[in-house]
Amino acid sequence: MNHQESQRPEKVNPLEMRDLGFIESGNNDGLDDNHEQDELADSSQSHQAVDESDSSEDEVAPRNTIGDVPLEWYKDEKHIGYDIAGKKIKKKERQDKLDSFLASADDSKNWRKIYDEYNDEEVELTKEETKLIRRLLKGKAPHAEFDPYAPYVDWFKWDDAKHPLSNAPEPKRRFIPSKWESKKVVEYVRAIRKGLIKFDKPKEEPRLYLLWGDDSSSADRTKHLAYIPPPKPKLPGHEESYNPSLEYLPTQEEINTYQLMYEEDRPKFIPKRFTSIRSIPAYENAIKDSFERCLDLYLCPRVRKKRINIDPESLKPKLPSRKDLRPYPVTCYLEYRGHEGAVLSISVEPSGQWIASGSKDGTVRIWEVETGRCLRVWEIGEAVQHVAWNPLPELPILAVSAGSDVLILNTGFGNEEQQRKIKELLQIGTPTSSDDSDNISSVLSWHQDEKHDCIRLRHFRTVSSIEWHRKGDYLSTVMPAGESKAILMHQLSKKLTQRLPFKLHGLPVSSVFHPTRSIFFVATKKNVRVYDLLRQKLIKKLETQLREVSSIAVHPAGDNVIVGSKEGKLCWFDMDLSSKPYKTLKCHPKDITNVAFHRSYPLFASCSDDCTAYVFHGMVYADLNQNPLIVPLEILRGHTSSDGRGVIDCKFHPRQPWLFTAGADSSIKLYCH
């Protein structure tokens, strides 16, 4: 160690280090290289054991008794502390650096000396302390007699043990990586990649903040409920002075009038005048006021009211004028009379020339649209629930449901070749059924009806509605009480019947085919389920949020659906947007009996038991970013109520903006533009 390092102040108490058996040194080379002669001299004594005492009498107390007081406090003083007797410890005179260097060059033991700044003295290390330092620098134990590899001492006796340790060899599975752990790791990796396991992202602290921001608008406040600061108490004014001006002091008459007031209207503080502060009495309402203040702070609810001045007219949606949305049905142009009971269902022929109607009197009638002339009547014998024209113009047949039977009637329209094909189509050699494995034969049977020269499909429950497929070969029937076989599919060309290959959740109300794709809509009392018939799977479930669904209609494009309910609400569903209603219209005060879309015009209608039919403009845009436009157009009246029923069915003309309505007053009305 050179002289400059020896003179460097060390903030260490070497006396304490001597007791602990450890001391720091800044120059290791001086210990190992420069003083080998000391090591040789001490090697003869290395075999002797060093006896150390644990007695506290061997510990050397520090000369300076100032404790943990920093020495910087004494840098301007002539002393550095006090000894045990309380006398000042004078600072020694600093030796010139050149003189100290020459003195250290002549002194062979200078490398062992360390300056103790705490006691202001030089301390010379002993040979035992240097040995400890050398062993610590080499990474050995400080004491030479310590054996790190001592033999193991078994402190327990196993001679009389009843359950000795097993001498079985280690199993192989302990040396092979676990197969199940690797599988679990692969599962975790896949779950992380799929996003099933998400790690908590570190919270990013905001870099910017309002230096002069208010505490009420801080981020900590906004995380919770809307923070409303408590009302600040009113600051005292001139009236609260102990010696206010005379104009603030009330007269005796005013004080008497205060007593006659209600306590709510009475002033809280009446100013008084005192000549000096010494004569001011204690505030009599101090406890009461502090208590009321506490109630204001943590018990009284505070609500922030945002008052916005808005013109009520600006809240109304800006709808186009009804004149710009013409044509649409407005007035009753023609009335078809002939039924003796309520007309339960109507259906318009695809060309728009004929209209069929089924009534509660057990008859099915065909009318000419333009003249209102009745062309043909079938006596079915029981109430006709539903009628439906075949959608193919070259196949003018009519499906009629009455009770538990469905009749496929030949209307007699068309040329001779079409009539020949129809008669061949409506011929059954023997009663047939299909899918015996599904017990369809016990549910439905095909029969030849000689009376009406048609096909009769006999079901095991009452049929409420019929729906044709767009190709004209398939039709579906709905039996609300049919449970798992409530909806059946019939193929007219092969005379086959099959059950819907889906589990029906709820009581079915109606069913509709998609106008262009192999998709089937089933409306239950609570929701609408959309099935793919090719893949035989559920595509979407439309949540109506209605009490009970009564009817359903699909837009000609197939992406929008309207649903009517028995609580007078009409729901518009955009299937590309959501499974919840895009719009819910509360238009009828009574049950909605049916809803219908127009094939070519942007119109849809709903009819209700309140004897009215509502006509709406419903424009669906090709741009997916633009929502459908729904505008109410007209309320059509004219039907009268009978047995609590009003308008039971409504259908649009396939080519003209005309609407047909069937009422409980045994009449059919045509509304034109």
Residue-wise pLDDT tens digits, 78-99 = 888 888 888 888 888 877 888 8
Q: What is the pLDDT of residue 305?
A: 66
Q: What is the pLDDT of residue 2?
A: 40
Q: How far is CA 567 from the centre of its chain?
A: 30
Find out whether 31 and 19 touch, Cβ atoms under 8 Å. Answer: no
Percentage of residues in the chain with pLDDT exceeding 90? Answer: 32
The CB-based long-range contact list for 446-452 (8 Å cut-off, 24+ gap) reads: 446/495, 446/497, 449/407, 452/378, 452/407, 452/409
Average pLDDT over every residue of 548-576: 92
- Confidence grade of residue 232 (pLDDT, cut at 50, 70, 90): confident
CATH topology (fold) of 322-672: Methylamine Dehydrogenase; Chain H (2.130.10)
Tokens representing 45 are 């004594």
Residues 6 or more apart whose Cβ sits within 8 Å of residue 425: 395, 397, 492, 493
Q: Render pLDDT for 17-55 as a digit per residue (tens, 0 to 9).
A: 443 333 343 444 444 444 444 444 444 444 344 444 444
Tokens representing 337 are 């009379």
- Confidence grade of residue 159 (pLDDT, cut at 50, 70, 90): low
Q: What is the pLDDT of residue 212?
A: 65
Please tell me the distance from the alpha carbon of residue 486 to that of residue 491, in angstroms, as a whole number. 17
CA angle 229, 232, 238 (to 5 degrees): 165
Q: What is the pLDDT of residue 594?
A: 94
Please tell me the distance from the alpha carbon of residue 38 to that of residue 109, in angstroms, as a whole number. 10
Give one word for 328, left, alpha or beta, with left for phi > 0 and alpha for psi -120 to 50. beta
Highest-confidence segment of 264-273, 319-328, 605-614 = 605-614
Q: What is the pLDDT of residue 615?
A: 94
Decide which of 292 and 33 is more confident.
292
pLDDT at 364 > cutoff 50: yes
Residue extents of the structural domains in the chain: 2-138, 322-672
> What is the pTM assigned to this prediction?
0.56
Please tell me the distance from the alpha carbon of residue 111 to that of residue 25, in angstroms, as a whole number. 10
DSSP 233: P
Tokens representing 11 are 């903030």
Q: What is the pLDDT of residue 162?
A: 64
Decide which of 659 and 211 is more confident.
659
DSSP 86: S
Q: Render pLDDT for 385-406 as a digit per residue (tens, 0 to 9).
A: 999 999 998 888 999 999 889 9
Tokens representing 652 are 């649009």
CA angle 435, 439, 441 (to 5 degrees): 80
Terminal-to-terminal C-alpha distance of the chain? 116
231: three-class secondary structure by DSSP:
coil
292: three-class secondary structure by DSSP:
helix
Q: CA gyration radius for the chain?
A: 52
Lowest mean pLDDT segment, chosen from 336-345, 410-419, 543-552 = 410-419
Please tell me the distance from the alpha carbon of residue 589 to that of residue 213, in angstroms, as a whole number. 55
Q: Render pLDDT for 97-154 as a digit per residue (tens, 0 to 9).
A: 888 888 888 888 888 888 888 888 888 889 898 899 999 999 999 888 888 888 888 7
Averaged confidence pLDDT in the chain: 82
Q: What is the pLDDT of residue 227?
A: 64
Q: What is the pLDDT of residue 86?
A: 85
- Confidence grade of residue 188 (pLDDT, cut at 50, 70, 90): very high
Q: What is the pLDDT of residue 348?
A: 93
Decide which of 328 and 4 is more confident.
328
Find out whether 463 and 482 touch, Cβ atoms under 8 Å. Answer: no
How many beta carbons lie within 10 A of that of residue 596, not counting itself?
A: 20
Decide which of 438 and 428 is more confident.
428
Q: Render pLDDT for 7-18 as a digit per residue (tens, 0 to 9).
A: 333 444 443 444
Please tell me the distance from the alpha carbon of residue 104 to that of residue 172, in angstroms, as a whole number. 69
